[in-house]
Chains A and B, each alone.
Chain A
Amino acid sequence: DVKVTQSSRYLVKRTGEKVFLECVQDMDHENMFWYRQDPGLGLRLIYFSYDVKMKEKGDIPEGYSVSREKKERFSLILESASTNQTSMYLCASSLSGQGNTEAFFGQGTRLTVV
C-alpha cells in the first residue's frame, strides 16, 4: 500500500520557535510537495522538489524553507514560527511524468502557533 507519512498529526509551538515538519514517502517518487490548507483558501503550494537537493518556490514560500537530502524525505522548516502560520500542512508526492500523474497525500499536520 502506497504511503506518505507525516511525522505528527498535531503540533503546538510557541511564537519564534524553529519548527520542523517531516514527510516520508515509500513510493520512490521524484516529486514532493508541501501545501498549507486554510478554510476558504483551499490548498496553497509552499514549496516543491522534483529531485534530491532540488527545490522550487511555490505560491507562498515566505517564512518557510525546505530540505530534501534523501529522495524519500522532504522537510518543511518554519524558521521563526508566527501565529499566522497556524494551519493544516499537507505533504504530497508524485511520479515524474507529463503532469498527469496522481499526487499521494499524507494525513496532514495541524500546527498551532501560540
Chain B
Amino acid sequence: GNSVTQMEGPVTLSEEAFLTINCTYTATGYPSLFWYVQYPGEGLQLLLKATKADDKGSNKGFEATYRKETTSFHLEKGSVQVSDSAVYFCALSDRGYQKVTFGTGTKLQVIP
C-alpha cells in the first residue's frame, strides 16, 4: 500500500534559519504530493502541492519539488519566522482512488 515517511520532530530553529523537512513516499503509479500545515488549535490546511514529476510547489516562501527518481518531496524555506511554528504533514493522493495518505507530521518550533 501507499505510505509516507517524514523526519521525526520536533525541529527547533532560530528565526531566519534555513528549513528542510524530509519526506519520502512509497506508492504505485503516479501520485500527487502535498504538504499540509496545522497551526495550534486548528485543522490542517494545504500549504503546497505538486502533481507530476519535477513539478515544484511553492507558497508563503516554502517550496518542495516532486522527485520521482528518489521518491521524495522535501519541504524547504530559506528563512523561517516565528509565525511558521506549526506541525507540517507530507501527504500523497492516489490518482484514481482519491484517498490521501499522511505522514506522521513534523513539529517545527521557531524561536526569536
Tell me how many residue pairs across A and B have CB atoms closer than 8 Å. 67
Report A24-60 CB contacts with B as 1/0, cut-off 8 Å: 0000000101010000111111001010000010100
Interface window among A66-74, A77-85, A90-98: A90-98
Q: What residues of B have a CB within 8 angstroms of the CB of A11 in the complex?
A: none
Number of A residues near B (Cβ < 8 Å) is 30
Q: Which residues of B are in contact with A by a Cβ distance under 8 Å?
A: 31-32, 34, 36, 41-46, 49, 51, 89, 93-105
Q: What residues of B have a CB within 8 angstroms of the CB of A44 in the complex?
A: 102
**Most interface-central of A4, A94, A98 (chain B CB within 10 A):** A98
Q: Which residues of A are in contact with B by a Cβ distance under 8 Å?
A: 4, 31, 33, 35, 40-45, 48, 50, 56, 58, 90, 92, 94, 96-108
Q: What residues of B have a CB within 8 angstroms of the CB of A45 in the complex?
A: 99-101
